[in-house]
Structure 1
Amino acid sequence: MSDSKVLGVLILARHGDRQGFYQSPTSYTPTATKITPLGNREEFLLGQYLRARYLNASSPTFISNVNASIVDPNQVLVRADAGGEGGVILQSAMSLTQGLFPADADYNTTLANGTTVQGPLDGYQYVSIESVEPNNDISLEGWTSCSAFDKSTQEFYQSPEFKQKATESQSFLSQLARFLDGRPVTLDNMWNIFDFMNVRNIHDQEFHNNLPPTFLQQARHLANYHEYGVFSDKELNGIGNIAFRTTIPSVVKNLNSIANDTDPLKFVYYATAYKPFLSLFNMTGVAQMNPDLAGIVNYAGTVALEVRQLADSSKVVRFNFKNGTEDTYKRYPFMGSSSGEVPLEQFIQHLQPAAINSTADWCTVCGNDKDRGCGALALAASQAQESIHQKISPVGAGVLGAGLTLFVAIVMLLVLSFLGLVAFGKKGKRRSIGSVTSYEKA
């Protein structure tokens, strides 16, 4: 399947290096953190790497018919999770796009008086970034405020397998206590343990010199087990896969757009945390076929879903992954295909049944009736039901049962439209803030 051309690509990229970060091991409620200069550099280098691969006309993976010099907003879509690690992820996206579309002297305009004016900073390009606020759009962060997910996490911690792993690792964990500044040394807190060690190992010379050589690797092994167990599920539509299930609708939409000859979209980039990677690896069978991927991706790790057209004009998706800036893309087998390519239609048909397609769906799946728009949905449904009960007799209610459902749906949509809480996926207005685009409902 090597005789193919790249029509476009969808990138899923983790943020760059940051300061210490804590998240609840039961609900994954996060605390604030900040990106570091190293993190910005990692993302900038990733942007340069992606440019060399997809926007260089001499590259075998050059995207056909893309404007590689001056960014065309119709060809490029960038979305960044502005949730738990929002500042880190947004700034990572800024740095990556600087490497992807660097300053260009051709970014200029000629005025009516004949004067040519170049963009500032030698033609610096401001690539629009859609800031995805979790309270308004659940597509990039579906796991927080989700009681069903919290329950699933607790059940994982109570499973015989997890308890056995905790017993097996107790001897090693007991040796970590002196390095953790009083943090709980338990397997269910393993992500926080590893993240603390990893951040200190990168930024604290004394810690780095005193940490035994194998300890970080051993801690990462346990953190990989922990996180993959939380953010995966045996069932495709299981709650453990929620980190990617909420992203599926936009992924499907954008892959179809890339494959459509009449649609200008060529390059899509989602800036995210590490969680969606784990669910994606599980749902596509990548982790099952490549067990080394069943774990946390490194800073600036990326998946590239390339949409390719074969000689017979059929469209396929190729799965590529690079685990950080020091790695290079490798093609991985997935969904039972040893070639690392599957037909686009098959890829979409595989994922769509597990998609969470709206805020209302998410509220139902998560059992949430108050947060992130769910309260407005519940109120609209309650008010609509009350209104109908007041106006229709018991006999009439039996006749109009089917009509009631439609009426309730219409009332809910009108209320949500008024409140600005209609389900994600609707195109909004873009409001520029520096190089970031705030995402407002239309």
Structure 2
Amino acid sequence: MRTSLQSGLLVASLAAPVVDAERVLGAYIYSRHGDRTPKVFGNTELTTLGYRQVFNSGSYYNTRYISNSSDLHIEGISNPKVVAKQISAAAPDDGVLQNSATGFLQGVYPPTSQAVNHLANGSTVEAPLDGYQIITLSATDQNADSESSTWLQGSSGCTKATVSSSSYYTSKEYLDMEASTKDFYQSLSPVLSGAFSKEDMSFKNAYTIFDYLNVGRIHNSTKPNVTDAQWIQLQSLANNQQFNLAYNSSESDSEYVRAIDGKVLAGEILDSLNQTVSSKGKFKLGVQFGSYGTFFSWFGIMGMPKASDNFTGVVEYASTFVLELVTDVSGDDFPEEKDINVRFSFHNGTASTSSKPKVYSMFGEGNDLVAWSDFVSKTKEVAITSDTQWCDICGNTDGKCASSDSTASTSSSTSSTDDSNGISRPVAGVIGAMVTLAVILGLEALFFLVGGFTVAKRRRGGPEMTSAGALADDKK
């Protein structure tokens, strides 16, 4: 009896399909900068502690994605030497964020002894700085100057987002909170008087006050005289204020204009992950840096607060979230799109092998894995993926949006005809343009002839697309 039962189990086990280990096809990492100087004094700078925080975080992701022994090793990613076409990295044009990204990338791909050239004359050249690896860091304009601005939307460039965030300051919720916390903030005068006026000690400056005291708690040997209860309240009030400035749940899914930075980020994430899918795995890893405000905005539009209240608080320095493309299909070939899933993980603060990112469900659905096709369709509902979208949602009419409006207006006006003169408007427009051009050229010729001027080529500047709808316009 036992023999027949064992035989039956053996046959059943042989008949059962073998499930291979999960394959990680690619990933996208979004990170906050490291520890920095306080915002209240302006000209914020990354501290040595901050540099160490992001470097350690990058080192963790080396063990997670680059190391060949990791269960989450990205399939086919180069190790230990970086291959430029496999990775992209970006950060806003801001010193704290750019320097943080550089430190992080040093951890992801540390110096390697393989950085050696053997020349034709028989000599050997080793790379400087013990084989330091250079990863090109692109500059985006998303949240430019964010670490020098005390207000979340101060530099977003989106007109309607600025109006939406400003309206929070006149809302009943804000006014009630400001009134109920007035005495609390005034009671902190002894520790704030060096940096804030009496009038500025209020809920309106909740985050700036919290940030100032937080830096003091980290760096000053004589810590601010604030009780644990007061500190918890300061942090809670800052979280409440900043989340409401970054995201408004009452706005429609297609609008979410207050969360403009999160919408732009959603488009950039979609673009990065799609590079992996469309290249069939040749592109491996996208890395981007930003401020806590962009975390807030993206968390809001992706429904993350439904998964945890942790997504409504200001994330700590060097916090990261990752989106991984995974499949259970075995083999060496890149899987079909229907077999690819997306998984989201988040870690508050510097990640490490002893404190790893935790998996959370997206879109409020309760599933750890989202089918790639579903992720694309749901993200497109809230993402910005073009200049036109950004201009339409923001209501901007200058810069890139001005040229877009002009083009659209011209296209609209030339679509009709004026039959009274027997000449269509497009033809009339061409004739008029030619006459005007002839007049201008004649005047220019006279101008240069009389004035003795010469023509020199000038490099063009102005807004341009970075990725998935972020407008790049150097503000510095």
Query: Residue 333 of structure 1: CA displacement?
Result: 2.1
1:250 Cα deviation from its structure 2 partner: 2.3
Quote the offset at 1:78 in angstroms.
0.3
Bigger CA radius of gyration: 2
Corresponding position: 1:336 with 2:378: no
Residues 207-229 of structure 1: CA distance to partner in whole angstroms, max 9, x if unpaired?
34x22223222211111111111
The answer on whether the counterparts of 2:301 and 2:382 sit within 8 Å (CA) in structure 1 is no
CA distance in 2, matches of 1:426, 1:398: 42
Q: Work out whether residues 44 and 97 of structure 1, in 8 Å CA contact, stay in contact via their aligned partners in 2.
A: yes
Q: Which residue in the other structure is 2:397 paired with?
A: 369
Equivalent positions of 1:10-49 (< 5 A) are 10-22=28-40, 31-49=42-60
User: Which of 265, 269, 272 is 1:254 aligned to?
Assistant: 272
Question: What is aligned with 1:409?
Answer: none
Aligned residue runs from structure 1 range 163-312, under 5 A: 163-181=175-193, 182-183=196-197, 184-208=200-224, 210-234=225-249, 235-236=252-253, 237-260=255-278, 262-311=280-329
How far, CA to CA, are the matches of 2:20 and 2:220 in structure 1?
A: 46
Does 2:340 match 1:322?
Answer: no
Contact kept, 8 Å, 2:20 with 2:329, in 1: the verdict is no
C-alpha change, 1:400 and 1:254, in structure 2 (3 Å) is farther
Contact 2:388 2:404 in 1 (8 A): yes
The one-letter amino acid of 1:320's match is S
3-state SS in 2 of match to 1:353: helix
- SS of residue paired to 1:131: strand
- Whether the 8 Å CA contact 2:140–2:466 is kept in 1: the answer is no
The superposition leaves residues 232-265 of structure 1 with CA deviations (integer Å, 9 ceiling, x where unpaired) of 1323331122111112222112112223463411
| Aligned residues of 1:54 and 1:63 also touching (Cα < 8 A) | yes
- Equivalent residue number for residue 28 of structure 1: none
The structural deviation recorded for 1:400 is: 6.3
In 1: Cα distance, 2:115 partner to 2:419 partner: 69
Letter in 2 for 1:68: N
Match for 1:221: what amino acid?
Answer: S
Pick from 157, 165, 170: which aligns with 1:145?
157
**2:378 alignment partner, one of 346, 350, 372:** 350
For the residue of structure 2 that corresponds to 1:300, the secondary structure is: coil
1:123 to 124, 131, 136: 131
2 CA distance for matches of 1:142 and 1:249? Answer: 21
CA 397–161 in structure 1, closer or farther in 2 if over 3 Å, else same: farther
2:435 matches 1:423: no
Assess, with a 3 A threshold, how the Cα gap between structure 1 residues 386 and 115 changes in structure 2: closer, same or farther.
same
Cα distance in 2, alignment partners of residues 42 and 396 from structure 1:
73
| Alpha-carbon RMSD | 3.5
Aligned CA distance change for structure 1 residues 387 and 334 (closer, same or farther; 3 Å): closer
- Distance in 1, matches of 2:182 and 2:60, equals 41
Aligned length: 400
SS of the residue 2:243 aligns to: helix
Provide the rounded CA distance (Å) in 1 between the counterparts of 2:362 and 2:20: 17
Q: CA deviation at 1:363?
A: 2.9
Going from structure 1 to structure 2, the CA distance change for 1:115 and 1:160 (only over 3 Å counts) comes to same
TM-score by length of 1: 0.81
Quote how far apart the aligned CAs of 1:395 are: 5.3
Contact kept in structure 1, 2:67 and 2:73, CA below 8 Å: yes
The whole-number CA distance in structure 2 between the counterparts of 1:351 and 1:386 is: 31
Q: Distance in 2 between matches of 1:386 and 1:280?
A: 35
Using the aligned pairs only, state the percent identity. 27
Partner Cα separation in structure 2 for residue 256 and residue 194 of structure 1: 39
What is the match of residue 160 of structure 1?
Answer: 172
Identify which of 92, 101, 104 aligns with 1:96: 104
- What does the per-residue CA deviation read over 1:24-68, in whole Å, with 9 as the maximum and x for residues that have no partner? xxxxxxx43111111111111111111111111111111111002
> In structure 2, the residue corresponding to 1:247 is in which secondary structure?
helix
Q: Which amino acid letter does the alignment assign opposite residue 47 of structure 1?
A: G
How big is the shift at 1:75? 0.5
For the structure 1 residues 197 and 396, does the alpha-carbon distance in structure 2 shift closer, same or farther, using more than 3 Å as the test? farther
Is 2:149 the counterpart of 1:132? no
| Residues 109, 118 of structure 1: 8 Å contact kept | yes
Specify the alignment match of 1:26 in structure 2. Answer: none
Contact persistence 1:258–1:264 (CA under 8 A)? yes
Cα distance between partner residues in 1 of 2:178 and 2:262: 27
Q: TM-score scaled by structure 2?
A: 0.75
Q: What is the deviation of 1:335?
A: 1.8
Secondary structure at 1:74 match in 2 = helix
The alpha carbon displacement at 1:280 in A equals 1.6
**The residue matched to 2:135 in structure 1 has which SS?**
coil
Distance 1:96 1:397, change over 3 A: farther
Cα pair 1:131 1:439 within 8 Å, conserved? no
How many Å separate the matches in 2 of 1:257 and 1:119? Answer: 31
Query: Is the 8 Å Cα contact of residues 54 and 103 (structure 2) preserved in structure 1?
Result: yes
1:173 is displaced (CA, Å) by 2.1
Give secondary structure in 1 for the equivalent of 2:62. helix
